[in-house]
Amino acid sequence: MIVVTGAAGFVGSGLVSKLNDLGIKRIIIVDEFSNNEKEHNLVGKQYAKRIDRSDFIEWLKEHGDEVRFIYHIGARTDTTEFDKEIFDRLNLNYSKDIWRYAAQYGIPLVYASSAATYGLGEHGYDDNHRVVNDLKPLNAYGDSKNDFDKWVLKQHIKPPFWAGLKFFNVYGPNEYHKGRMASVVLHAYRQITRTGELKLFRSHNDKYEDGEQKRDFIYVKDVLKICIFLKDKRPESGLYNVGSGTARTFKSLAVNTFRAMNREVDISYIDTPADIRDKYQYFTEAKINKLISAGYTEGFHTLEQGVEDYVKNYLMDGKYL
């Protein structure tokens, strides 16, 4: 059996779909299933059993010898949440429990870390283990992910294979439920549909013009291919950046969304909300040398390709992956 935590969420549900496409149906899906909106992500998916997040650790303790692989994708991902206790409980300590049982039962483990661990990028965006202790995330979410990465790197008892995936800006189908935390592509599509125009955040950094803030946007279909690659090939264990390797501007993302919708470009700018302004990343770009050196050869969607596929094949018809 394969376990996927966060299986009703954005990346997790896409991963269940990808596993199904590969003929894998003996999947244990784990999540907090009270959000009815997330249930749409699971329609048509095939799996063996669903287990509530709060019951999973006890289940794993009893059934770990039946599990062949764990994708621990589930996490509290709200970057505007400031309660450290919530992140310690759901992201840090919960992940430690999963790690311990994966190690005990010899289960390979892939877990979701985050590019939020890199903070303002003072130490670059290199997934080198030596910089992990020096990183300064900008919020409690990033701290929780970096705290787990730091803890993992100190462990002597480990799963037979493990990989911590530092997801950059992932966008694509099955994120309809994410609200404020959804990708800019989804927000842009909805705003353009509603008003015919798009408002982006104004730059509050003299080094960047409005709309020229840059992020490493990666299409979720590429993320899923990387997850499967790691399961099948099991290269050297460690932290891996999961980004496209190319930073693009928010303005480029917006223009491509307008084009995919066959709309005239109409962009204006508003102030970045005060509660996130001093914690805003103006540039991210994944160094993906380690992933490529590990043998990943599938390539990546360009921003143009990813946005067009997402808009035309999913958003316009409200479809799911």
Question: Would you name the residues annotated as active-site residues?
Answer: 141, 178
Quick one: CA dihedral 148, 150, 152, 155, positive or negative? negative
Query: Phi and psi at residue 218, in whole multiples of 5°?
Result: -130, 135
Pairing of strands 214-215, 248-249: antiparallel
Distance between first and last Cα of the chain: 22
Q: In whole angstroms, what is the distance from residue 13 CA to residue 35 CA?
A: 14
Amino acid at 279: K
Tokens of 139: 């919020």
Amino acid at 165: L
